[in-house]
């Protein structure tokens, strides 16, 4: 309110839009609003960051507003269109949402700042690529999280497996050893398409490709089919359903029964497993999803968040300052250690050493990818022709025929006009 009063007093001057940016000692601080999503950062982190930021920027009053994921798209679009009563100067968005918001309009381009200030050449590709539209940077990588293999150390030891596998062939061989009787070598639901995406990328395939601005499905490419064939080899070494995803039933509940040697999941699911079965406390380990060779981990879908600035903010310079602080080494380190995330740069992977789950994520994050950077991809995920394709292959249908059907369905969805 103090800021508004000062600005009202200056309303007759042409300097209105710059109010609060370079006033004297008595000038009211500029209120800058940061939207963060629920669960992305702890109250402790937010409190520390806010206090430190305001100390370093005495002219800024930073207001952090926590938002729910449900219904966030409409709220963000209202801000971008200048229709929101709340307003925001910096907004956390899912890394795969950036292209949708850019197409809607109202997102500020940040190419200059990214190249100059934020070390963009070192960003994780799974965060930076979906934040880029037609060569321009709109989303600034904040943090990443991805899947790893969570395993039962006791079952591994009983099978004589002393170290986690480093490549696919070792992984298959170990999983075959572990798959005996009622014990499952791995629980892998038939429609876990995020896991499939990593196998496809490892083979050099794609979910969809862009040509001259037109997107089309690519599951029928031979390399993409090879990724599905590896998925089938792995999935049969357990009793996972062929016609359901990893939440039907929740795979953490299945693992908690104690007769599953491995699941592929974010490391945070270990806490859910231990809560369901305290006897497993101390028996869970983590390793990166193995790649085709031992030289590098397998590709993974990178989840996480980017930061955007609305075009209509009156405080772009201060909003840039907020992002600069959030992506600095100091606060990337604090966030990664507090929340067990992977930092936004490959050079900062070392900061999670000592946190077994987060450390297992880091090698995969370096090979991480995001879903195709089409504003229509949300339609693909909503109707998701990938899931029935996977079930078809796992139940014996010809992979090439099934993949053509799925690729055509994806192409049709990607060519639909915007709503």
* Sign of the CA dihedral with 380 first, then 301, 387, and 401 last: positive
Query: What rounded mean pLDDT belongs to the chain?
Result: 92
3 has a pLDDT exceeding 70? no
16 has a pLDDT exceeding 60? no
Domain 2-145+303-366 falls under CATH 3.40.50.1110: no
Per-residue confidence band for 8, with pLDDT thresholds at 50, 70 and 90: very low
pLDDT in tens, 135-182: 999 999 999 999 999 999 999 999 999 999 999 999 999 999 999 999
Asked if 285 and 359 touch (Cβ cutoff 8 Å), the reply is: no
**Given this model, what pLDDT does residue 158 score?**
97
**Which residue, 166, 95, 93, is CA-closest to 125?**
95
E strand or H helix that includes residue 305: strand 303-308
Residue 40: DSSP 8-state = S
Which residues face 20 on adjacent strands? none
339 has a pLDDT exceeding 70? yes
Most confident range, picked from 19-33, 166-180, 336-350, 368-382? 166-180
Residue for token pair 């090979």: 367
378 has a pLDDT exceeding 90? no
415/275 Cα distance (integer angstroms): 45
DSSP per-residue codes, 324-346: HHHTSHHHHHHHHHHHTPEESBG
Per-residue confidence band for 27, with pLDDT thresholds at 50, 70 and 90: confident
Cα three-residue angle 291-237-180, rounded to 5 degrees: 125
Residue 211: DSSP 8-state = E
Asked if 313 and 31 touch (Cβ cutoff 8 Å), the reply is: no
380/100 Cα distance (integer angstroms): 13
Q: Over the range 343-382, which residues count as b (16 or more CB within 10 Å of their CB) and which as e?
A: bbbeebbebbeebbbbbbbbbbbbbbbbbbbbbbbebbee
Q: What is the mean pLDDT of residues 346-369?
A: 93
* Sign of the CA dihedral with 92 first, then 94, 99, and 100 last: negative
**Given this model, what pLDDT does residue 133 score?**
93
The dotted CATH code for 148-301+376-414 is: 3.40.190.10
111 has a pLDDT exceeding 80? yes
Radius of gyration of the chain measured on its C-alpha atoms: 23
pLDDT in tens, 200-249: 999 999 999 999 989 999 999 999 999 999 999 999 999 999 999 999 99
Residue for token pair 């639909």: 416
98/300 Cα distance (integer angstroms): 19
**Given this model, what pLDDT does residue 213 score?**
87
Location of each CATH 3.40.190.10 domain in the chain: 2-145+303-366, 148-301+376-414
**Given this model, what pLDDT does residue 419 score?**
55
Per-residue confidence band for 10, with pLDDT thresholds at 50, 70 and 90: very low
Per-residue confidence band for 114, with pLDDT thresholds at 50, 70 and 90: confident
State how far the alpha carbon of 20 is from the alpha carbons of 16, 29, 163, 192, in Å.
9, 6, 59, 51
* Sign of the CA dihedral with 53 first, then 54, 58, and 59 last: positive
**Given this model, what pLDDT does residue 22 score?**
41
The percent of the chain in helix, strand and coil, each rounded to the nearest 5, is: 45, 20, 40
373/35 Cα distance (integer angstroms): 23
Per-residue confidence band for 417, with pLDDT thresholds at 50, 70 and 90: confident
**Given this model, what pLDDT does residue 351 score?**
94
Alpha helices in 117-249 (DSSP H): 125-128, 153-158, 168-178, 193-202, 222-235
Phi, psi of 71 (to 5 degrees): 80, 10
**Given this model, what pLDDT does residue 26 score?**
63
């Amino acid at each position: 309110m103090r800021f508004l009063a000062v600005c009202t007093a200056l309303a007759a001057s042409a300097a209105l839009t710059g109010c609060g940016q370079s006033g004297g000692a008595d000038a009211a601080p500029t209120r800058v609003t940061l939207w963060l999503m629920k669960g992305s950062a702890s109250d402790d982190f937010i409190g520390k960051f806010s206090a430190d930021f305001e100390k370093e920027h005495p002219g800024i009053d930073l207001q952090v507003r926590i938002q729910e994921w449900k219904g966030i798209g409409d709220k963000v679009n209202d801000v971008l269109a200048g229709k929101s009563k709340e307003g925001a100067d910096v907004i956390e968005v899912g890394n795969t949402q950036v292209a949708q918001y850019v197409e809607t309009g109202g997102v500020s381009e940040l190419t200059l700042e990214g190249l100059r200030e934020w070390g963009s050449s070192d960003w994780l590709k799974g965060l930076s690529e979906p934040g880029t539209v037609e060569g321009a940077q709109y989303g600034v990588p904040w943090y990443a999280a991805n899947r790893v293999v969570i395993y039962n150390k006791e079952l591994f030891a009983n099978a004589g497996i002393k170290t986690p596998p480093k490549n696919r062939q070792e992984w298959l061989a170990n999983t075959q050893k572990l798959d005996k009787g009622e014990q499952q070598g791995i629980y892998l639901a038939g429609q876990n398409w995020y896991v499939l995406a990593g196998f496809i990328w490892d083979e050099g395939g794609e979910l969809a490709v862009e040509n001259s601005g037109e997107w089309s499905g690519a599951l029928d490419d031979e390399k993409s089919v090879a990724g599905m064939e590896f998925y089938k080899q792995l999935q049969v070494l357990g009793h996972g359903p062929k016609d359901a995803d990893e939440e039907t039933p929740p795979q953490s509940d299945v693992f908690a029964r104690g007769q599953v040697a491995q699941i592929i999941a974010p490391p945070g699911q270990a806490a859910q497993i231990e809560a369901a079965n305290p006897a497993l406390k101390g028996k869970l380990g983590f390793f990166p999803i193995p790649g085709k060779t031992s030289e590098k981990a397998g590709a993974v879908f990178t989840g996480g968040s980017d930061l955007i600035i609305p075009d209509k903010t009156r405080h772009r310079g201060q909003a840039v300052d907020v992002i600069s602080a959030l992506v600095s080494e100091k606060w990337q380190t604090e966030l990664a250690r507090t929340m067990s995330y992977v930092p936004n740069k490959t050079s900062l992977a070392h900061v999670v050493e000592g946190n077994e789950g987060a450390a297992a994520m880091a090698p995969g994050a370096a090979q991480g990818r995001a879903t195709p950077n089409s504003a229509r991809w949300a339609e693909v995920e909503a109707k998701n022709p990938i899931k029935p394709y996977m079930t078809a292959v796992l139940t014996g249908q010809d992979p090439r025929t099934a993949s053509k059907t799925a690729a055509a369905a994806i192409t049709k969805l990607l060519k639909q006009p915007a709503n």
